[in-house]
Chain A
Amino acid sequence: MVMGAIWLGMIFLSVCAAFWSGNTGGLTPAALDGAYSAVKLCISLAGALCLWSGLSKVMERAGLTEKLGKLMRPVFRRLFPRTSKDEIALGCLTANVSANLLGLGNAATPMGVAAVKRMRTLSGGTEATDEMCRLIVMNTASIQLLPTTVAAVRAAAGAEAPFDILPAVWLTSVCSVSAGLLAAYVFGRLRRG
């Protein structure tokens, strides 16, 4: 529903703007050109996406997610003191975050959902706990080590070194996760107030 309204809004706005600028003749060619460029984008993305998804699957089956999860346990005991007392919940949590780090979106979501479900069983209510909010922030702030889809889009657009944005992406992610966690901490304190 929302996307439908946004899409209609975009088309309507472009028709209005075309009347304003007197370039109504450019709309139809632009529409067809846009559709064409989307297919071009898909084709140029296909190779990189296929390759990377293949490598992701190898990482998953080789147990790298679990390895990374074990490495991060000390951090998790601090961030999620209550959840980490429960082995199952801690397992789901670390699997979710390490899958996110490795860019395994498909594997991350079910583990994240399982973690929130288990945390809910532990808390017993339908209200989000502080630790659930922290988990949400860690998931929505994207902490991916290799943003492969974006790199593929950059390569398709003719970037010289598609991965040269890595340091900037890491720094930005660290800042946004920290800001989110800090905000969650402050909000948690205020509400309890």
Chain B
Amino acid sequence: MADLLIPALMIAIAAIALAKKQDVYAALTDGGLEGLKLLVSIAPALVMLLTALQMLRASGAISLLTNWLSPVSGFLGIPAETLPLMLLRPFSGSAALAVGAELMGFYGADSLVGRTAAIMLGSTETTFYTISVYFGAAGIRKTRYAVPAALIADLTGFLMASLTAKML
């Protein structure tokens, strides 16, 4: 069933669009170009961040940090290795993506750490960025409890990601 999820979606999307008399192929290539532009726009950030992350890894700083934090994170059931990801996630999407990719590369995509990182990335957002864009553009000055409520959602996401990764 899961094997056919993506192919079935491709058929369904294209068939619905064709039935609505849309130029499906032009939409595919237009969208594809947007996707590549997005990638080009985050590529420099990924290079800078992965450079810094690889240096942290090689210097032993990451393993030192992980060792210090493992008692705390073990208590919460979160892999200590994912802490940098959780810290950067609310601020920068590309930084979180870089940390996640480095974790998946170092520990393996199907390892517990790799899976936890992937689930965290897939189920959280760049919270502070989103809040500043939405409220900034609309001229909202007093954000009241939007930030704490959004951070509670993120924290729940991180805890649940660690839990669900173990159940897979």
Residues of A bordering B, CB below 8 Å: 2-3, 6-7, 10-11, 13-18, 20-21, 23, 26-27, 29-35, 37-39, 41-42, 45-46, 49-64, 106, 109, 112-113, 116-117, 119-120, 126-128, 132-133, 135-137, 139-142, 144, 146-147, 149-150, 153-169, 171-173, 175-181, 183-184, 187-188, 191
Contact = CB atoms under 8 A, between A and B. Distances in A.
Interface residues of B, number: 97
B54 A33 contact: yes
Nearest to A34: B54
A38 B100 CA distance: 12
Interface of B: 2, 5-6, 9-10, 13-14, 16-17, 20, 22, 24, 27-36, 38-39, 43, 46-61, 64, 88, 91-92, 95, 97-98, 100-102, 104-105, 108-110, 114-115, 118-119, 121-127, 130-131, 133-135, 137-146, 148-150, 152-157, 160-161, 164-165, 167-168
Contacts of B61: 13-14, 16-18
A178 to B, nearest CB: 8
B13 A158 contact: no
A171 B7 CA distance: 23
A169 B123 contact: yes
Please name the 5 residue pairs, one residue from A and one from B, whose CB atoms are nearest each other, closest first: A57-B31, A53-B35, A180-B153, A34-B54, A147-B122
Given A113-B138, A159-B109, A140 B153 contact: yes
Given A18-B59, A58-B27, A173-B157, 16 more contacts: A3-B92, A13-B59, A13-B61, A34-B55, A37-B105, A38-B49, A39-B47, A112-B134, A141-B124, A144-B122, A159-B104, A164-B2, A165-B118, A167-B164, A167-B168, A169-B123
Contact of B32 (A3, A50, A175): A50
A52 B35 contact: yes
Nearest to B35: A53
Contacts of B145: 133, 183-184, 187-188, 191
A147 B38 CA distance: 16
A112 to B, nearest CB: 6
Given A157-B105, A168-B167, A169-B119, A31 B55 contact: yes
Given A3-B92, A113-B133, A191-B144, A14 B52 contact: yes
Given A57-B31, A172-B164, A180-B149, A154 B138 contact: no
A50 B123 contact: no
Nearest to B18: A62
A128 B139 CA distance: 10
Contacts of B133: 109, 113
